[in-house]
Amino acid sequence: MKISERCYAVTGLGYSPPWCVNAGFVVGDETTLVLDTGGNWLAGATVHGYASAVRPANRLLVLNLEKHFDHIGGNGYFAERGAEILGHAACQRSAAEFREEKAEFNATIPNATRRARGEAEAFFVNTRLTNPGERRITEDTRLDLGGCEVEILLTPGHTPTNLSAWVADERVLYAGDCLISGYLANLDAGGPEEWRTWLRSLDRIAALEPRVVVAGHGAVMTGSDVPRMIRNVRATLEGAVKAGVSPTGERG
């Protein structure tokens, strides 16, 4: 989906019901920056195909907007094709964590026979854990793609590793899971301290006044839907801070 002159969204990539996950890319004159790679090798192939088709001669550079596997599962597909992968300095997952992720994914399969067959392995075919490389993001960073600049912003809260990518010339923001469209924001990875940090990241995003936002999950938001989405996530966070528990967490 083309959302501005240089910006594209790849939406609705499969993951565990009811979640779909989004990715995207920004096309410079020399480099195409890919934002997230989906949850598996197949999603990575899909994102790679779209990003390569728009400007085939460009070098591909990948930025993971957070550490959760639904955003980094396609990294291996890009790495196999020589793409450099960037991410937050703390965006490093272990093989044991990946095994746990696959087991948890398999447990969500409704049919007992399919669970017993381990059919999650079909979803993760060819998928191997691939963390970002040696060039890691520790502060706000500006990337020159050739005729187009992208600013990588630290926007922690959902996890400490969350980043956003801001294309100022086109007022397009790739927010990762700092913003969620349509779904209830997932607060379960943190607690009140992390949620307060997340609220400060929302303040930072709102101050940019983006025209288009590609959230980590759900539909691309434009125009007046953008501040409405920010308000919705803010209300969820404020309610959780007040209650001391995530809205989808266990209450005492």
pLDDT in tens, 228-238: 999 999 999 99
Concatenate the DSSP letters of all residues of 147-188 into one string. S-EEEEEE--SSSTT-EEEEEGGGTEEEEETTS-SSSPP--T
The predicted model gives 156-169 an average pLDDT of 97
Query: For position 97, what pLDDT does the model report?
Result: 97
For residue range 164-188, what is the model confidence (pLDDT) as tens digits?
999 999 999 999 999 999 999 999 9
| Domain contains 252 | no
| Domain contains 83 | yes
Q: Is the pTM of the predicted complex or chain greater than 0.85?
A: yes
Q: Residue 172: beta bridge partners?
A: 167, 212
| Domain contains 132 | yes
pLDDT at residue 250 tops 70: no
| Domain contains 250 | no
| Domain contains 248 | no
154: CATH: 3.60.15.10
- Percentage of the chain with pLDDT > 90? 96
Concatenate the DSSP letters of all residues of 214-240 into one string. EESSS--EETTHHHHHHHHHHHHHHHH
| Domain contains 128 | yes
| Domain contains 251 | no
pLDDT at residue 252 tops 60: no
Query: For position 12, what pLDDT does the model report?
Result: 95
Q: How many distinct structural domains can be found in the chain?
A: 1
What domain range is 135 assigned to? Answer: 7-243
d(Cα 124, Cα 9) in Å, to the nearest integer?
Answer: 23
Q: Residue 21: beta bridge partners?
A: 13
Amino acid at 138: T
Helix (H) or strand (E) holding 212: strand 212-215
d(Cα 97, Cα 231) in Å, to the nearest integer?
Answer: 33
With CA atoms as reference, report the closest residue to 214 among 12, 2, 23, 19. Answer: 23
| Domain contains 55 | yes
For residue range 6-60, what is the model confidence (pLDDT) as tens digits?
999 999 999 988 999 999 999 999 999 999 999 999 999 999 999 999 999 999 9
